[in-house]
């Protein structure tokens, strides 16, 4: 009703159309000049008469085979664009912060959302727009007819970890097309395995660490700051992950050198916790360390320090039966699960 009262819509054959000539900012988001008719061919003109081909429906007269409702406006159904404005403003208010969508929705859909919403309220509709590029598969657009259409259930049935799929989808900037391949997905799974391996190694070193360290802690804080700066820069997830894996490399180097201290441990853990919280990718089963196994390793370490080698060997053999292989190094005890 507000659009009608303010002179932004007109009726034609039972439908209501938004008159874009009444909204001077039309085309601002898509950088199109409505006066030049840019994008006109992409607009559905319907079979109804309109004052201008670029005007769009906010309420459509009923058609055979389509749903319709009887309302104060008349009999019919909402237009595609007005549905989104109505839902957004009902749930988020007349102005909200972030609106996302595919790049193909910029025009005409989001342009029309802005026009009808701001014309109705007189307020800014959205503060920030984020449009994702397309997901393509092996260089082609995803399509059921081409047989390259996959659901999460399909990928899970092939044995792929949901964490790896999530990582793969955020491994490129959202405004760049992602070419989905099974080779790329395998690489993403391998990247997460590197994080899981680091988490396991940190747990193994943690119990025996002495106070000290600090060089890596400084780097870890710098890496965390770099991650956050990349995310602040138009949600550059790829750049943030680059900082994360530089820290993984630096951490392994420091662990191998024997210069790893408790301060380093806590700083690296802070970065891993931030990654998990921000990206929603949590440790896999490989990193869910069994508390009983850790306790046995600590008991074995204590037995060795007391020169009770018989007890230490007994614990080692017990762990081996459970599929846990121990490796004694100058930096402490490392362990891994035996391959099947």
The full DSSP string for 20-64 is GGG-TTTTTTTT--GGGTTTGGGS---SS--SSTT-EEEEE---T
What pLDDT score does 41 carry?
A: 43
The per-residue pLDDT of the chain, averaged, comes to 88
Question: What is the average per-residue pLDDT within 52-81?
Answer: 92
Q: For residues 324 and 326, give the distance between their C-alpha atoms in angstroms, rounded to a whole number.
A: 7
Q: Kindly tell me if the per-residue pLDDT of 44 is higher than 60.
A: no
Could you give the count of Cα atoms lying within 13 Å of 40 in the half-sphere of its Cβ?
Answer: 10
Handedness of CA 182, 276, 323, 155 (dihedral sign): negative
Q: For residues 161 and 181, give the distance between their C-alpha atoms in angstroms, rounded to a whole number.
A: 15
Paired sense of beta strands 69-70 and 75-78, if any:
antiparallel
141: phi then psi, degrees, rounded to nearest 5 = -65, 140
The most confident of 24-33, 113-122, 140-149, by mean pLDDT = 113-122
pLDDT tens for residues 52-64? 889 999 999 999 8
Paired sense of beta strands 9-12 and 15-18, if any:
antiparallel
What pLDDT score does 208 carry?
A: 66
What pLDDT score does 335 carry?
A: 75
Question: What is the average per-residue pLDDT within 230-255?
Answer: 97
Question: What is the average per-residue pLDDT within 80-100?
Answer: 96
Bridge partners of residue 327, in order along the sequence: 334
Q: What percent of the chain has pLDDT over 90?
A: 63
Question: What is the average per-residue pLDDT within 3-19?
Answer: 94
180: phi then psi, degrees, rounded to nearest 5 = -80, 120
What pLDDT score does 35 carry?
A: 64
Q: Kindly tell me if the per-residue pLDDT of 177 is higher than 90.
A: yes
Q: Kindly tell me if the per-residue pLDDT of 331 is higher than 80.
A: no
Say how many C-beta atoms besides its own lie within 10 A of residue 2's C-beta: 12
Q: Kindly tell me if the per-residue pLDDT of 39 is higher than 70.
A: no
What pLDDT score does 296 carry?
A: 86
pLDDT tens for residues 178-212? 999 999 999 999 999 899 889 888 887 776 676 77
Q: Kindly tell me if the per-residue pLDDT of 144 is higher than 90.
A: no
188: phi then psi, degrees, rounded to nearest 5 = -65, -40
Between the CA of residue 338 and those of 191, 200, 283, what are the distances in Å?
Answer: 21, 14, 19
- Note the pTM of the prediction, 2 decimals: 0.75
**Pick the residue with more confidence: 329 or 69?**
69
């Amino acid at each position: 009703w507000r659009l009608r009262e303010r002179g932004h819509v007109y009726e034609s054959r039972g439908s209501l159309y938004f008159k874009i000539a009444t909204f001077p900012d039309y085309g601002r988001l898509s950088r199109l000049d409505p006066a030049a008719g840019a994008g006109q061919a992409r607009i559905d003109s319907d079979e109804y008469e309109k004052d201008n081909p670029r005007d769009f429906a906010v309420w459509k007269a009923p058609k055979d085979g389509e749903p319709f409702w009887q309302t104060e406006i008349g009999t019919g159904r909402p237009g595609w664009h007005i549905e989104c404005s109505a839902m957004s403003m009902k749930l988020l208010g007349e102005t909200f912060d972030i609106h996302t969508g595919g790049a193909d929705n910029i025009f005409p859909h989001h342009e029309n959302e802005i026009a009808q919403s701001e014309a109705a309220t007189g307020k800014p509709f959205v503060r920030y727009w984020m449009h994702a590029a397309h997901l393509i598969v092996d260089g082609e657009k995803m399509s059921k007819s081409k047989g390259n259409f996959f659901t999460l259930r399909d990928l899970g049935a092939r044995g792929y970890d949901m964490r790896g799929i999530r990582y793969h989808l955020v491994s490129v900037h959202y405004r760049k097309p992602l070419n989905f391949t099974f080779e790329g997905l395998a690489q993403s799974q391998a990247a997460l395995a590197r994080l899981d391996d680091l988490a396991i190694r940190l747990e193994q070193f943690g119990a025996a660490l002495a106070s000290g360290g600090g060089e890596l802690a400084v780097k870890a804080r710098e890496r965390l700051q770099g991650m956050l700066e990349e995310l602040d820069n138009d949600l550059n997830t790829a750049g943030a992950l680059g900082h994360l894996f530089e820290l993984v490399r630096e951490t392994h180097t420091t662990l191998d050198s024997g210069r790893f201290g408790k301060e380093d441990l806590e700083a690296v853990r802070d970065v891993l916790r931030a990654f998990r919280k921000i990206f929603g990718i949590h440790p896999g089963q490989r990193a869910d360390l069994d508390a009983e196994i850790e306790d046995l390793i600590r008991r074995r370490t204590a037995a060795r320090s007391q020169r009770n080698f018989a007890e230490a060997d007994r614990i080692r053999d017990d762990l081996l039966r459970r599929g846990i292989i121990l490796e004694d190094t100058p930096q402490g005890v490392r362990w891994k699960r035996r391959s099947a």
